Amino acid sequence: MLRVDVEKKLGEFSLSASFESEGRVTGLFGASGAGKSSLINMIAGLLRPDRGTIIIDGDVVDDTAAGIHVPTWRRRIGYVFQDARLFPHLNVAQNLDYGRRMNRLAADPAQHTRVVELLDIGALLDRRPGKLSGGERQRVALGRALLSKPRLLLLDEPLGALDEARKLEILPYLVRLRDEANVPMVYVSHDVAELRQLATQIVMLRQGRVTSFGGVKVLT
Amino acid sequence: MLDISPAEWTAILLSLRVAVIATLVATPFGIALAWLLARKDFWGKSMLDAVVHLPLVLPPVVTGYLLLLTFGRRGLAGAFLADHLGIVFAFRWTGAALACGVMSFPLLVRPMRLSIEAIDRRLEQAAETLGAAPFKVFFTVTLPLALPGVLAGMVLGFAKAIGEFGATITFVSNIPGETQTISSAIYSLIQTPDGDTAAGRLVMISVGLAIGALIAAEWFARRATQRLHGN
């Protein structure tokens, strides 16, 4: 479960959003500049709210009144960025293993195999990120985030940098992820079709405010 | 031609030892400073930057003299280190290493700083979201990505250190076997009648070392770009 109630001023722009979601995939929908990325970065802890609270899984990660701000690296979240952000000095296998090493988790070959198969990246393990296509990079980024065993997976327009064909290539993986990976997700997008396929709940943002909240039907 | 005499060998080996120690000791400070200058904004930053670059523009004899005043037997730092840690710089090879380290420091720091500045900070953010604490981010992402720059800085610093003359001779004099490096040996040989051939040999060696270092630094710089592009 995710509970967000935050306010943040960023220059001229002010964000004030409050929602609570039990959904498997919470879609943050809105035009660019609506505050989607700021909101997801606050959930990730990369941005600090001016006022408010964020609760992930019953765990208070931000509470400005109580002076609580859990740093990003202790939030146990996974984050898939639009631009993948794979580590260029590590090969795919090492990228996948990074989160497990940083969190000092025991090796989990079964999960590793499952994620690698789910995302079809077994053939890429020895390659460097520079030698991957955009779609492959994004699949590896998904795997890397999943293998750090997050309790919440954040996806910030993960298909945004890809062309139509590549989007269609990745989308089925995201659907499988939603149905099989058992990790709740927050999915940022300005693409209605994408969210219709993936999201179970929608938070609609407009100029820094939540305008509607509910099932996928609010997208019409 | 390359019939190197024992005295010349002594100078060459001493130069190598001085330059290696100077570079190795300066490197951690160089990395820390490069990171500070690349990443942090703080009061007095431009002042610190200027002080680091000072040895590059000051007459070396001035730097040497200032080192003598500070780290000499009666200098504030020199007396303290000698009394409490037993480290003596004055007229020792360690002093030559200190002088070389100070003189080469700006050259050592610069490539390190540039390579840290070139790193995409969003990669460090990604590392944080994967559970890496700040110091782990530094050692697993920042430093490895900056490594070619760090090595380039070390090579340049080493090349500068091995050729350093003015500050070294001012600070620790020109004592064969203790503080007489290649440069000061060449200086002495030129002043001696019939020293020309020996000086010529040492000159060639020092030209060779310098060119080798520049080629190595260039190679590391090229590796840096490749690394950042993930090939």
Better-predicted residue by pLDDT, A177 or B27:
B27
Angle between helix B6-39 and B143-163 (nearest 10): 140
- Which conformational region is residue A84 in: left (phi greater than 0), alpha (psi within -120 to 50 degrees), or beta? left
- pLDDT value at position B74? 85
- Give the mutation candidate from A73, A81, A140, A186 for the B interface (greatest B CB count, under 10 A): A73
Q: How far is B48 from chain A (nearest CA, A)?
A: 30
Query: Which amino acid belongs to residue B199?
Result: A
d(CA A100, CA B95): 47
- Give the mutation candidate from A77, A102, A156 for the B interface (greatest B CB count, under 10 A): A102
User: Percent of chain A, pLDDT > 90?
Assistant: 68
A152 closest CA partner among A78, A102, A84: A78
- pLDDT value at position B2? 66
- pLDDT value at position B177? 86
User: Tens of pLDDT along A160-173?
Assistant: 888 888 888 888 88
Q: Which residues of B touch A98 (CB under 8 A)?
A: 127, 130, 132, 140
Low-confidence ranges of chain A (pLDDT < 70): none
| Closest CB from A72, A83, A130 relative to B229 | A130
Res. B231: pLDDT tops 70: no
Res. B1: pLDDT tops 60: no
CB < 8 Å from A in window 133-152 of B: 133-134, 136-137, 140-141, 144-145
- Give the mutation candidate from A94, A98, A124 for the B interface (greatest B CB count, under 10 A): A98
Res. B230: pLDDT tops 70: no
d(CA A189, CA A159): 9
Residue B125's alpha-carbon distances to B27, B108, B134, in angstroms, are: 26, 28, 10
Residue A103's alpha-carbon distances to A26, A90, B133, in angstroms, are: 26, 18, 9
DSSP bridge partners of A2: A21, A56
- pLDDT value at position B209? 86
User: Tens of pLDDT along B43-94?
Assistant: 999 999 999 999 999 999 999 999 999 998 888 888 888 888 888 898 899 9
User: Between chain A and chain B, how many beta carbons pairs sit less than 8 Å apart?
Assistant: 75
Token output for A79: 């984050």
d(CA A191, CA A212): 16
Number of other CB atoms surrounding residue A20 within 10 Å: 14
Q: How far is B223 from chain A (nearest CA, A)?
A: 11
Chain A's closest residue to B134, CA to CA, is A73
H-only helix segments in chain B:
6-39, 45-57, 60-71, 76-84, 93-117, 121-129, 134-137, 143-163, 166-172, 182-191, 196-228
Please state the ipTM of this predicted complex.
0.92
Residue B60's alpha-carbon distances to B64, B158, B178, in angstroms, are: 6, 17, 20
Residue B73's alpha-carbon distances to A125, B61, B62, B69, B84, in angstroms, are: 60, 18, 18, 9, 13
CATH class label, B16-228 = mainly alpha
The pTM for the full model equals: 0.87
| Closest CB from A76, A86, A88 relative to B131 | A76
Residue B133 is classified by DSSP as -
Q: Which residues of A touch B120 (CB under 8 A)?
A: 85
Residue A24 is classified by DSSP as S
Contacts of B123 (CB under 8 A, 6+ apart): A85, A87, A88, B141, B145
Q: Using 50, 70 and 90 to split pLDDT, how confident is the model at B210?
A: confident
Q: Residue A212 belongs to what H/E stretch?
A: strand A209-214
- pLDDT value at position B94? 93
Q: What phi and psi, each to the nearest 5 degrees, are found at residue A85?
A: 55, 45
d(CA B206, CA A16): 67
- Which conformational region is residue B181 in: left (phi greater than 0), alpha (psi within -120 to 50 degrees), or beta? beta
The SS3 of residue A217 is: helix
**Chain position carrying tokens 């943050």:** A28
- Return the sign of the alpha-carbon dihedral for residues B153, B154, B158, B159: negative
The SS3 of residue B56 is: helix
